[in-house]
Structure 1
């Protein structure tokens, strides 16, 4: 009789089976972990990237140039004629990108970096324009700066990829404004009086025109009547006087809009 084989594996076989199963589990776990890590990495890159991983919509137009408005850090003061009083400039710089490759954060950085240079350039331009202007000619200086800036066009920076367009408003010196205040108040009062006189004379001119039309129609219907003819001549004279008065008022209108400029020559009636 022969001995039957022992169905229990030997110690070496059992270790081989346990090792094989452990390696298989480790390999499967590693594959799953790698897939999860790969998906997590793709999501992280997509959230931090400049563009979404999906394809861009071809129907949407490409983004246009960016614009950032930035006020000058301080008020720019330039001397007027005589170097006693000054003009004060309030400036806002419009920084723009000429290409779509400039990001918003880059445009903001360049605006901060080039603002001192833009302030210096505008100061030189305003100083040259204000050197021969009286201290009360703020309106003239502002108009001159607007013309010069329009003629120069936007200022290029960073090889033309960034441009700067200043927007300027000029204010009077506080001492000059206080000295001009009574004069401006008087001009405003004269403006109100002038408008009241103009309304009165315009009403008189319209009323005389109506009476002339009525008298003319009555004379045409009834024939020559000395009384109505005299009244018609009187109304014609009043109408001509009112028209001359209107022309005189329009020629001598107070100049309140540009009170800091020399008054124009007024026409004598």
Structure 2
């Protein structure tokens, strides 16, 4: 027959010897954990103001403007008649607040060709109506066009990077036209120098005449002349040379003055 276990008695429900020890340590650990958490929370709440002062805060970046100037080769544009040309020299000032300094030069090289072509089209459109010996007229036309038709700064963008360009333009003569105009300008400069010299001479003569007529008009006597050295030290008349004395025992010639008696 198989034995059937009976119901556990009171003796079987008693805890094992180690269960009370574990239970006490479990309660003790829970109490220590709660106390540690409470102290940690209090410490953290008290340290919050100090930690906020020590936290790293990133200030907003201040935009820095980088500037560069480029003076490429002069632009050659045909003048009126398509025989001679003008030389258009331009200095480009580039500036940007969004480009990094290490990439600034690369962006300027990238946009420089576009700005040069833009100025070349503008110069060609106005140079065909200007005679080749009048660079000042072309400079005035380009200045007016830059101020009205296509005012700077010119803006260029690539992605999030933007650039501003301001051209400064000067116009020069063709070397062939310069050689043709050189004799004319040399003669003109010589004539202007002669005219300036004649004008200065006339002004000096008028001033001298006015200074001479001023005492006569006012009736005042002319200012006394400063004494000269001859006035301060007059020269005495020269005395006649002494008469020659005759030799001893020789009579004086008739008409000769007698020597004074000793």
TM-score calculated relative to the size of structure 1: 0.54
CA distance in 2, matches of 1:150, 1:205: 49
SS in 2 for 1:78: strand
Question: SS state of the match for residue 90, structure 1?
Answer: strand
1:96/1:107 contact within 8 Å kept: no
User: Aligned partners of 2:89, 2:194: CA distance in 1, in Å?
Assistant: 34
Bigger fraction of residues in helix = 1
Q: Which residue of structure 2 lines up, in the alignment, with residue 3 of structure 1?
A: none
Distance 2:212 2:65 in 1: 66
Match 1:109 to one of 106, 110, 114: 106
What is the aligned partner in structure 2 of residue 119 from structure 1?
Answer: 116
Aligned-partner SS, 1:69: strand
- Give the secondary-structure state (helix, strand or coil) at the position aligned to 1:82: coil
Partner secondary structure for residue 83 of structure 2: coil
Structure 1: which 5+ runs fail to align? 1-53, 223-269
Counterpart residue number, 2:204: 203
1:117-266 aligned at under 5 Å gives the runs 117-151=114-148, 152-158=151-157, 161-218=162-219
Q: Deviations over 1:186-238 (max 9, x none)?
A: 111112112211211121222233233222111xx59xxxxxxxxxxxxxxxx
Rg (Cα) greater in structure: 2
Task: Give the direction of change, closer, same or farther, for the CA distance of 1:215–1:57 in structure 2 (3 Å limit).
Answer: farther
Q: What is the aligned residue count?
A: 162
2-structure distance, mates of 1:56, 1:183: 70
Kindly provide the CA deviation profile for residues 141-191 of structure 1, in whole angstroms up to 9, marking residues without a partner as x: 122222322441211111793111112221111111111110011111112
Conserved in 1, the CA contact under 8 Å of 2:152 and 2:167? no
Q: What is the DSSP-based 3-state SS (H/G/I as helix, E as strand, rest coil) of the residue aligned with 1:134?
A: coil
- For normalisation by structure 2, the TM-score amounts to 0.55
Residue in 2 aligned with 1:65?
65
- CA root-mean-square deviation: 2.7
Q: Deviations over 1:50-101 (max 9, x none)?
A: xxxx99999xx956422100112x321111111111101122111112x3x3
Counterpart secondary structure, 2:138 = helix
